[in-house]
Structure 1
Amino acid sequence: MSSSPATETRSMNMIQAINSALDVCMDRDPAITVMGEDVGYFGGVFKATEGLQKKYGKGRVFDTPINEGGIIGVAVGMSAYGLRPVPEIQFADYIYPGLDQLVSEAARLRYRSAGEFTAPITVRSPFGGGIFGGQTHSQSPEALFTHVAGIKTVIPSNPYDAKGLLVAAIEDNDPVIFFEPKRIYNGPFDGHYDRPVTPWAKHPQSQVPEGYYRIPLSQAAVVREGEAATMLAYGTMVHVALGVIEASGIDAEVIDLRTLWPVDIETIEASVKKTGRCIVVHEATRTGGFGAELSALVQERCFYHLEAPIERVTGWDTPYPHSLEWAYFPGPVRLTQALKRVIEA
């Protein structure tokens, strides 16, 4: 469900949808500013902010030094002053120098000031692998932020959701980490990594309204209904899950979490109680990953409905292996094996 007035649509990839969301929000609210490394004249390393500085000026779209702690720190100050900054961290791997500002300042500002100040900051950042970016351009640190009270964590899987969720994140009065799976910036794939990328133009969720609409945070989407098992995924892994189901012929249900935290546990619970089986898939390393939290939630709420142990299919517990990138991913082979295990249990 989304809050959306009637508006013309056009086919967009995820980059274009994100750019459109920023444009629509900045046009509606002069308090919104975009900041980060190369986001101005250059339009961002992936071109997500292209054209915004020319349209809104250097006072609202401006480049920063290579100083992630400074970028987030300045955003906290701007938000306390009444602005709505949207800082871009060029790659999620570089967000760690700003972690203290996010955890100790942004996440706590509303509480430590008894509501006098808020931190309406939306931190955008490309995350995950799939472009051969190596160890310092491919990490998936989402679990770190789901652990921090006061921060919301959002990861879209398609252009339509990317725009609607980003609009909602920017309008939210609390800090939001908005991770963008760069593997599918320009198009999804069919779940088999050795096949060409499918253009978004052929995907039903590429038709994106050009005007304003929003998708509420903390609302998952059932992207495929099924009876045999429930597959929980987000970002790139949604497309892997759908590809595996198509190839295997197993009638599994796929839930796209969209917002990791606060998570839509009601949708998850209803699905698992219906199917009796659950598989969690994410690209990040296994130990301490968000899949562990999902597994615990499902066990707590659905234990007496489960017909098989909960399966987790994830990245390996190792530093990101550049030369073995595709072996690291939870791909079709491992996910199909897990799906068959829970069905046969």
Structure 2
Amino acid sequence: MSDTFKAILVSRDEAKQQSVAVVEMTPDQLMDGDVDIAVEATTVNYKDGLAITGKAPVVRRWPLIPGIDLAGTVITSSHPDWKPGDRVVLNGWGVGETHHGAYAGRARVSGDWLVPLPERFTAMDAMAIGTAGYTAMLSVLALERAGMTPERGPVVVTGAAGGVGSIAVALLAGLGWHVIASTGRTGEADWLRDLGAAEIIDRQELSEPGKPLAKERWAAGVDAVGSHTLANVLAATRYGGVVACCGLAQGMDLPASVAPFILRGVSLLGIDSVMAPRQRRLEAWSRLARDLDAGRLRAITTEIGFDAIIGAARDIVDGRIRGRVVVDMR
């Protein structure tokens, strides 16, 4: 590998004004870690968009290489679990937030943060899934652990045209669920039906202030939106239903009441993908390899090169990205 590599670097001046630049770096400028990886593929998540645009305080150490997901090949390792040539995936662990991330030709990380790349997937496949798809799978697993099955009734997926939502739709439909997809981009209805959605509803049905309890509409939910949307999802969840909460695209607030919990026995499950324990990560990636239809994954994915990352980051924050964006770093 060359002694230098390209990287995207986010910096901040004394007035706390953020700037983004493409720079040349050397391995000795990377942070501490016991595994060096040749980054072959990455992706642009909503969180990456926030990091690059500065629209939310994702980056907490300056300057920093953003990018919370990567897949690639181990170059050097002093970690007992990894050796040169191993194919690996990384999601989260503060990478791209407090530790140099994926938007560079090379990454140096803790081997404890890595999982093996499933044999079924290429590096590009793994990043078509990325944190968004891995979070969607964690949400599905949480519903299953809570005893939810397709026989219980429909499942609603909010933010369905986004990264988490689109893979959640594909996964749940493939597992036999009747999927109700909520999106503000109703022009994507045919695309969502191709992914397996049985019904499409406009997000405006859920995004405005609503009643503490509403007519029962679904048995389960995967919510990547938060705020009024999550409150309304809970209010319309059937008796004994379960909702997995994994995002905040509308907001971090939850203007809800206790009514769904104490009158209908509804459960709200929190999904954390950043610090999830290794065993749960391995389970999620194993299930993704088993359950995610390759054709549906391709339908969700747009491929770009390194030079298009910054533009894609701005587009995803502005709601102009459908599904998943994969970056070929080779």
Using structure 2 for the length normalisation, give the TM-score.
0.29
Q: More strand by proportion, 1 or 2?
A: 2
